[in-house]
Amino acid sequence: MNSGMETTIAGVTWKNPVTTASGTFGSGREYGELIDLNRLGAITVKGVSEEAWKGNPVPRLAETQSGLLNSIGLQNAGAKHFIENDIPFLRQYDTKIIVNICGHTLSQYCAVAERFAGCDIDMLELNISCPNVEEGGLSFGTDPHVVERVVKAVRHYVKQPLIVKLSPEVTDITEVARAAVSGGADALSLINTLRGMKIDIHKRRPILASKIGGYSGPGIMPVALRMVYEVCHSVDVPVIGMGGISTFEDALQFIMAGAQAVAVGTANFHNPYATVEIIDGIRKYMKENRISSLEEIRGCID
Amino acid sequence: MNSGMETTIAGVTWKNPVTTASGTFGSGREYGELIDLNRLGAITVKGVSEEAWKGNPVPRLAETQSGLLNSIGLQNAGAKHFIENDIPFLRQYDTKIIVNICGHTLSQYCAVAERFAGCDIDMLELNISCPNVEEGGLSFGTDPHVVERVVKAVRHYVKQPLIVKLSPEVTDITEVARAAVSGGADALSLINTLRGMKIDIHKRRPILASKIGGYSGPGIMPVALRMVYEVCHSVDVPVIGMGGISTFEDALQFIMAGAQAVAVGTANFHNPYATVEIIDGIRKYMKENRISSLEEIRGCID
Amino acid sequence: MSTYCTAAVINHEEIIPGVWKIELSAPEIAKTARPGQFIQLYPPDERNLLARPLSLSSISKESVTVVYRVVGQGTKQFSCLQVDDMVRVMGPLGNGFTLPDAGTQNVIVGGGLGIPPLLELAKRFHENTVVLLGYRDDPFMAEDFQRLGLEVHIASQSGNYGFHGTVLDLLENLTLPAGMIFACGPRQMLQSVSMWAKGHNVPIQVSLEERMACGLGACLGCGVKIQKPGEQDWRYLRVCKDGPVFSGEEVVWNE
Amino acid sequence: MSTYCTAAVINHEEIIPGVWKIELSAPEIAKTARPGQFIQLYPPDERNLLARPLSLSSISKESVTVVYRVVGQGTKQFSCLQVDDMVRVMGPLGNGFTLPDAGTQNVIVGGGLGIPPLLELAKRFHENTVVLLGYRDDPFMAEDFQRLGLEVHIASQSGNYGFHGTVLDLLENLTLPAGMIFACGPRQMLQSVSMWAKGHNVPIQVSLEERMACGLGACLGCGVKIQKPGEQDWRYLRVCKDGPVFSGEEVVWNE
Ligand SMILES: Cc1cc2nc3c(=O)[nH]c(=O)nc-3n(C[C@H](O)[C@H](O)[C@H](O)COP(=O)(O)OP(=O)(O)OC[C@H]3O[C@@H](n4cnc5c(N)ncnc54)[C@H](O)[C@@H]3O)c2cc1C
Ligand SMILES: Cc1cc2nc3c(=O)[nH]c(=O)nc-3n(C[C@H](O)[C@H](O)[C@H](O)COP(=O)(O)OP(=O)(O)OC[C@H]3O[C@@H](n4cnc5c(N)ncnc54)[C@H](O)[C@@H]3O)c2cc1C
Ligand SMILES: Cc1cc2nc3c(=O)[nH]c(=O)nc-3n(C[C@H](O)[C@H](O)[C@H](O)COP(=O)(O)O)c2cc1C
Ligand SMILES: Cc1cc2nc3c(=O)[nH]c(=O)nc-3n(C[C@H](O)[C@H](O)[C@H](O)COP(=O)(O)O)c2cc1C
Ligand code: FES
Ligand code: FES
């Protein structure tokens, strides 16, 4: 039965346009205790690097008004561990698997991309926009020339459709988006976190051990929506929109701005049912408004 | 009597470190009905251009979660009207006057700066960062080379201490800050609004007639604080911090990050007493923590 | 002079489905309030930063009453307020209606949620006043006007009640020449009534709406295109400070 | 298996100034909860996105009870909850304490707000158990432990009550050899008790705290440095999922 919610991105068809934002949902195992993972269009997992990364010192989290700062620093057990433990787990479910990859250097990016080339996963998301690692990450994601070069180099090793995840910390997001596409991105995802800070005025020090962290949640949504709108009008590849999405109304705003799909991140912390409630909400909206396919409203904002 | 709150910026001493963010407080007349304007360290007025500007179409306002989008488009009655009506009004009060100026072209900026050269005002704030006008504004504020050139050109006509107001919509705020200082800024203020969007999913169109507007309020504070912290560690001129400040705790975070003073904007809409409550709150904090001068805590975050 | 304060809810009832009447204890506001002015009511959920503008429907010595329709997040929250709950409010705001010279033949024209803001005005008139009320469907608050002893005509678009049609039809059917029209309602209605008034050379005061942030005249968020007689071009005036009541002839309607 | 639900407040009282005991009706959570586990309680003000982790102090058939100190925005809001109010909660979370073999000489060591989380554990012990409670100043909940018939020793840093000193002093004065230590309290205290346990070759379980987002093990926000026997280096484990109870010897304390 066709629900009208099927969404095809770079040749991969999701049953609905909702995935999880990398790093907020682990590999699904933990949230699987509370929600039915089969409901999700796709699961985007926590960033995986070639070798295990220890991550940043704690405290790594700070709550802000309607937002969250994190400085996890891409702690992960490395690609080998992931492939042995998480892919078999995820394949039990009827959902697409998107693996988010990261590296400190270009060769690390290439190595991890290559390692996943032979793996049973559906899409690869290249994180060149993480603000929480010293080398690589953000520095790779802000200069359009570097972006194009990095994407092109990594692309060479990638066998699955390649999503490139963009940083919002740039003067002109459309320039970076075009660079990623000309480097070979099959799809784009945005936005990663903005960098933010919070200070404990009683202890007179930043809450985060790393002082500065990535800012996510409802507080970044207006910026995210604007950037998704701009990028959708600048490139021809599909866009996965994210940044503060917490309700189906939020998700629909991104879809109307032109997003092919959406990812839910920080909202999971506020409401572990957020993803499934968003899917149900979109379905209800479609029914009430007699929309038989999301195509009817996607990108309706010109 | 010395309250420990006196703050000197580019040779001008305010009785306390709290001013209003340009465009949120008019020229003080309206809020003067509700609060005692003598309480404020300084009043920063709505942007003034050489000629009258009509502003953008309505709707110009959209509420977001913990934030606000505006696309006023610098509507103002022009410098002549301002000088005749607002300076005499403001001079009745024991507070500093900061005039925020804007233009569509470099020569308009210079013209309005020159016009204020002979006026009885305390400081001039150069807005090269407004996202809501087509020409000038933001485009002048994002490229470090352009910033330096614009500041240098305008500086030539300015007789009062010059504050340059920076846009957050750049890859590296410290680069722009250094450019403004080398162009001749005596002080910097930041941040102006981020650009954001909101869509009415029932009407299927953006809430703002201009589609995209400037995002302000508590939702931008983590970004603003981080940028103020970064800029304070990159330049030697004083910084006026703003972006989402709503409570004295917020204001103190900016001061601990290194700000010489703070400006209160969107918070006035949520609570017309915000400015005076912040001043009272800082005083109370200082008393409770036996701080005799703000110097003791300013920039304590290294 | 306006005040910002915390007011207690004195009365609160749903008068028709989705439309509520709330009375707030606010002596400072009531003291100086005039018909046609409004208040800014702050939603209790602090994620909603902005206050909601609501027109005064009636003014007593110690309290003010507004009538509102639940349309979004803020008004939804208001509808959950209980008697004795406290709510932040600022007012009175705006210019209000200019009262006509005695003896003027007043025509009050209200449509939908534009009707309650005309009640306090109607209270100030004891004679020479016709009240035309237009509803989409079922009427509300008509009896409040009738109780004042004024001549009340009702129209409904559904035909369920009163005249089957709009207030414009009621205007056309007026038997007496109008001296001054006071109108509040949907923009579309205000525009057609203003056109009618222009055609019949009747002065008209209309109460307008626009999204607001400060409500005080400081932020220039609430622009309305106004062209005053003798001016070469329109300019944006502020609904909150220069209005919400404007001369219908001066409004530039075509947007 | 943990549940996310909305729970009604059954009891709520301030047991000493600034410290509250709240009982929530949550049969699903109570059913599987074990001593040492915690819940995530969501602040009613939605500007606070994150839930607050609070350790279970006691577990009954249909309800769970936590004891918390008001320290910031979230706990402030909790303290305003009234009986019958509803609050969002997730739990039970974490590993909880590992119960020792029968016959082990248990030593329960609690400091300040680390005391309530040990009560449910103490309830599971009927003999061979010494309870050492340390307070800065006035004691609270000591009688809950005494009522269980266990041997309870109290110390206060102010000397106002019980032994003038810390729980470490009480440990030094133990007459029986400890078989297993269960400790909860400030990090500093847990560190020194762990050092003592190491020196005396006594196994120790400590309950740790760290800032949390998901509470489920998914976000890796709540790292604690752990070095397991035989491992060459420490790595970050998750307080919420791998803990909050860890073996005191395995925690890398020096930060
Ligand atoms: C001067 C004035 C007087 C008014 N008097 C009344 C009245 O007496 N009764 C009544 O029911 N309504 C009145 N309105 C409209 C009322 O302000 C809106 O219905 C209300 O603000 C909607 O708030 P919300 O949070 O429920 O809707 P949301 O859509 O969630 O609000 C989002 C934002 O848009 C603004 N907004 C949405 N619709 C309007 C609107 N029509 N006008 C202005 N701002 C809007 C809100 O204030 C808020 O800032 C008046 C408006 C103005 C300007
Ligand atoms: C597993 C675990 C069990 C706990 N059990 C108890 C208990 O039984 N009783 C009790 O009083 N306290 C307990 N705490 C500490 C309690 O979680 C914090 O005091 C509480 O989160 C503070 O919230 P707040 O909003 O009042 O403070 P704020 O400072 O306003 O909180 C801001 C953010 O920091 C987090 N935070 C602040 N302090 C702590 C802390 N010490 N630990 C973890 N997060 C913190 C908050 O959760 C929130 O995300 C426990 C913590 C953990 C990790
Ligand atoms: C705790 C946390 C961890 C994250 N880790 C990653 C990551 O590993 N890789 C990545 O590309 N993005 C990571 N992100 C960014 C999110 O995927 C997402 O882009 C961002 O949070 C904005 O979405 P949100 O507001 O819905 O959370 C992380 C975000 C959070 C809050
Ligand atoms: C309604 C509105 C109008 C503004 N107008 C101006 C302006 O004229 N000139 C300017 O430099 N900044 C203007 N700003 C930006 C503010 O001065 C300030 O930099 C920004 O809002 C961030 O501070 P806040 O979050 O405290 O509002 C305006 C902001 C708002 C909300
Ligand atoms: S709402 Fe600010 S000027 Fe009218
Ligand atoms: S709080 Fe998310 S892993 Fe522990």
Place of tokens 């006007």: C145
pLDDT band at B134 (very low <50, low <70, confident <90, very high): low
CB-facing half-sphere around the CA of D180: CA atoms within 13 A: 19
Quick: pLDDT tens for C146-187.
999 999 999 999 888 888 999 999 998 888 888 999 999 999
CB C108 within 8 A of CB C121: yes
The pLDDT assigned to A42 comes to 98
Whose Cα sits closest to atom 26 in ligand 3? Answer: A265
Question: Mean pLDDT across chain B, nearest whole number?
Answer: 95
What pLDDT, on a 0 to 100 scale, did the predictor assign at position B133?
57
Mean pLDDT computed over every residue of chain A: 95
What is the predicted pLDDT for the residue at A136? Answer: 53
Looking at the CA of C219, which ligand is closest?
5
Question: What's residue A221's pLDDT?
Answer: 98
pLDDT of residue B217: 98
Interface of B with C in 25-44 (CB under 8 A): 25-26, 29-31, 33-34
**Average pLDDT of B271-293?**
97
Please judge whether A23 and D210 are an interchain contact, meaning their C-beta atoms are less than 8 angstroms apart.
no
User: With an 8 Å Cβ cutoff, is C143 touching chain D?
Assistant: no
- For C47, name the nearest residue in chain D, comparing CA atoms only: D47
The amino acid at A13: T
Q: For residue D76, what pLDDT band results from cuts at 50, 70 and 90? A: very high
Residues lining ligand 6, CB < 6 A? D 212-215, 217-222, 238, 240-241
Q: Which of B197, B220, B256 sits opposite A204 (nearest CB)?
A: B256
| Active site amino acids of A | 130
Distance from CA of C221 to the nearest CA of B (A): 6
Give nearest CA residue, ligand 3 atom 29. Answer: A23
Question: DSSP E strands: which ranges in B166-292?
Answer: 187-190, 194-197, 199-200, 205-206, 212-216, 239-242, 261-264
- Please report the atom of ligand 6 found closest to the CA of residue D213: 1
Tens of pLDDT, residues A162-219: 999 999 999 999 999 999 999 999 999 999 999 999 999 999 999 999 999 999 999 9
Query: Is residue B141 helix, strand or coil?
Result: helix
Among D26, D32, D100, smallest CA distance to D66 is for D26
How open is the CA angle B10-B14-B20, to the nearest 5 degrees? 100
* Ligand 2 neighbourhood includes D65 CB (under 6 angstroms): no
Query: What pLDDT score does A52 carry?
Result: 94
Which two structure tokens, joined as six digits, stand for A174?
């459309």
Residue D34 is encoded by which pair of tokens? 């074990």
Residue nearest to atom 12 of ligand 4 (CA): B22
Chain B residues touching chain A at CB-CB below 8 Å: 64-67, 69, 142-143, 169-171, 194-199, 201, 204-206, 211-212, 215, 218-223, 225-226, 229, 244, 249, 252-253, 256-257, 285, 297, 300-301
Helix (H, G, I), strand (E, B) or coil at D214: coil
Nearest CA to ligand 4 atom 22: B243
The answer to whether B65 contacts chain C (CB < 8 Å) is yes
Q: Distance between CA atoms of D171 and D168, rounded to whole angstroms?
A: 5
The whole-number pLDDT of residue C162 equals 87
Query: Any residues with CB less than 8 A from the CB of D163 and at least 6 apart, and which?
Result: D153, D154, D155, D156, D169, D170
> Which of C1, C211, C235 minimises the CB distance to B33?
C1
Interface chains of chain D (3 or more CB pairs under 8 Å): A, C
Percentage of chain B beyond pLDDT 90 is 92
Looking at the complex, report in whole angstroms how far the Cα of residue A259 sits from the nearest Cα belonging to chain D. Answer: 25
Q: Does A23 touch chain D (CB under 8 A)?
A: yes
Residues of chain D in contact with residue A26, where contact means CB-CB under 8 angstroms, are 216-220
Question: Residue B140 — very low, low, confident or very high, per pLDDT cuts 50/70/90?
Answer: confident
Contact assignment for B194 to A222 by CB distance below 8 Å: yes
Q: State both tokens at B255.
A: 């001061």
Residue A33's closest CA among D217, D56, D239?
D217
B198 touches C: beta carbon within 8 Å: no
Q: How far apart (Å, rounded) are the C-alpha atoms in residues B234 and D81?
A: 47
- The count of CB pairs under 8 A between chains A and B is 123
- Answer whether C119's CB lies under 8 Å from C58's CB: yes
What is the reported pLDDT for B135?
Answer: 57
Which ligand 5 atom is at minimum distance from the Cα of B269?
2
Q: How far apart are CA C242 and CA C223, in angstroms?
A: 10
Q: Is A260 left (phi over 0), alpha (psi -120 to 50) or beta?
A: alpha
| B176–chain C nearest CA distance, Å | 28
The encoded tokens of residue B196 equal: 């954001």
pLDDT at position D140 is: 94
Q: Which residues does chain A have within 8 Å of residue B221's beta carbon, measured at their own beta carbons?
A: 64-65, 196
Q: How far is A196 from chain B (nearest CA, A)?
A: 4
pLDDT one-digit tens code per residue, D125-137 = 988 999 999 999 8
Which pLDDT tens digit goes with each residue over C225-239? 999 999 999 999 999
| Helix (H), strand (E) counts: chain C | 6, 15
Neighbours of chain A (3+ CB pairs under 8 A): B, D
Q: Is residue B283 over pLDDT 70?
A: yes
pLDDT at B127: 94
Cross-chain Cβ contact B223/A142 below 8 Å? no
With a CB cutoff of 8 Å and minimum separation 6, the contacts of A131 are: A137, A138, A167, A169, A192, A193, A194, A195, A212, A213, A214
> What ligand is nearest to the CA atom of residue B98?
4
List the single best residue of D226, D236, D251 to mutate versus A (max A Cβ within 10 A): D236
CB contact under 8 A, A169 and B171: yes
pLDDT of residue C255: 63
For D157-200, how does the pLDDT look when each residue is reduced to its tens digit (9 = 90+)? 988 888 999 999 999 888 888 899 999 999 999 999 999 999 99
Ligand 4 midpoint to CA D43 (Å): 31
Number of H helices, E strands in chain A: 9, 16
Could you report the per-residue pLDDT of D77-119, keeping only the tens digit for each? Answer: 999 999 999 999 999 999 999 999 888 999 999 999 999 999 9
Q: What is the mean pLDDT of each run of 10 residues along chain A (302 residues)?
A: 87 98 97 97 97 95 97 95 97 98 91 96 91 60 91 96 96 96 98 97 98 98 98 98 98 98 98 98 97 97 94
Answer for the pair A30, D242: CB distance below 8 angstroms, yes or no.
no
Nearest-Cα residue of chain D relative to residue A62: D211
Pocket test for ligand 3, best of A266, A269, A271, A278 (most atoms within 8 A of CB): A266
Query: Which ligand has an atom closest to residue D40 CA?
Result: 2
pLDDT at residue A59, as a whole number: 97
Q: Note if B110 is an active site residue.
A: no
Locate the ligand 1 atom nearest the alpha carbon of residue C53 and give its number. 17
C46 touches chain D (CB under 8 A): yes
CA–centroid distance, residue C8 to ligand 1 (Å): 21
pLDDT at C173: 87
- As given in the structure block, the two tokens for residue C142 are 């008509």
- For residue B216, which ligand has an atom nearest its CA? 4
pLDDT of res. B131: 60
Distance A33 CA to ligand 4 centre (A): 45
Q: Measured from the CB, is residue C250 less than 6 Å from ligand 1? A: no
Contacts of D45 in chain C (CB under 8 A): 46
List, chain by chain if needed, residues with CB within 6 Å of any ligand 3 atom: A 21-24, 46-47, 68, 70, 72, 74, 100, 127, 130, 165, 192-193, 214, 216-217, 220, 242-245, 264-267; D 213, 219, 221
